[in-house]
Amino acid sequence: MKKIKTALISLSDKNNLKFLLESLKKYNIKLISSGGTFKEIKRLKFKCLEVSKFTGSEEILNGRIKTLHPKIHAGILNKRNDKNHLKDMKKNDYQNIDLVIVNFYPFEKTLEKTNNHKKIIENIDIGGPTMVRAAAKNYNDVTVINSSKNYLDLINELKKNNGATSLKFREKMARLAFTETAYYDSVISGYLNKVSNIVFPQKKIIHSNLVEKLRYGENPHQDAAMYSTNNKISINKIHVIICKVNHNILMKIVT
């Protein structure tokens, strides 16, 4: 079990934030945040330390540089049982970050709303995926949450383990996090290929979302599911009824 003492929170999607913060407060977890998330946490009347105060470095480049700082990433990436890592942390007076709760700028939703290339590019998140990948890589010591869909899972895990998380849970969240960063980058790659009129790039990354799990695959003993590049698929379900009468096969398609 790994006790969580410090959490870094940076969210584009702030849904259910209060619900999450109430749970973190129960276990006296110190909060670090920046930008709009910091303001929202303060508005909800929870204690929080701003990233710039934590690192000693102000945000620059209109907010492009906030969390890209050695104090942040050393806090996430250090191996807690590595003597050299511990030595470096002590030498630089760095603190551990045990929980990273981050979701990304809404790049995919931005594509749906505008064709403005400059605005689309500004919605490519850099700091968020960097922190998430770092936390996911170091899942042996750090917990990463990349979606509000997993808040309840985290809350239940903390409740079950009195403010700590199990290795099994951290590994699962890391796997989900790497899937999300891969998906996010694939959408960006697809957009840039499209605007550059590149139909057949050297490497093609296809992203998709689970739409529905099917009863079975090509045969009854096989599993199957339906995926789409959107969150839904515009096709009609067809039922095929097959029966055999006097050695003749009859088939009826019902929509």
For 176-196, the pLDDT digits (tens) are 999 999 999 999 999 999 999
> Helix (H, G, I), strand (E, B), or coil: what is residue 219?
coil
Return d(Cα 94, Cα 71) in angstroms, integer: 6
pLDDT of amino acid 242: 57
pLDDT of amino acid 35: 87
Beta pairing, strands 99-102 & 143-145: parallel
pLDDT of amino acid 239: 62
For 75-130, how does the pLDDT look when each residue is reduced to its tens digit (9 = 90+)? 999 999 999 999 999 999 999 999 999 999 999 899 999 999 999 999 999 999 99
Return d(Cα 53, Cα 39) in angstroms, integer: 14
Return d(Cα 255, Cα 252) in angstroms, integer: 10
* pLDDT band, residue 200 (cuts 50/70/90): confident
pLDDT of amino acid 247: 56
pLDDT of amino acid 27: 96
CB neighbourhood size of 247 (10 A): 5
Question: Of 144, 107, 119, 118, which Cα lies nearest the Cα of 8?
Answer: 144
Least confident range from 1-15, 104-118, 236-250: namely 236-250
Mean pLDDT of the residues in the chain? 88
Q: Is pLDDT of 164 > 70?
A: yes
User: What are the helix (H) ranges across the chain?
Assistant: 17-26, 35-43, 51-55, 70-77, 83-91, 107-113, 117-122, 127-137, 151-160, 167-195
Chain-centre distance for alpha carbon 105:
11
> Helix (H, G, I), strand (E, B), or coil: what is residue 147?
coil
> Helix (H, G, I), strand (E, B), or coil: what is residue 231?
coil
* pLDDT band, residue 213 (cuts 50/70/90): confident
Supply the pTM of this predicted model: 0.84
Return d(Cα 69, Cα 187) in angstroms, integer: 26
Q: Mention every residue, 6+ apart, whose C-beta is less than 8 A from residue 124.
A: 105, 107, 188
Average pLDDT over residues 9-20: 93
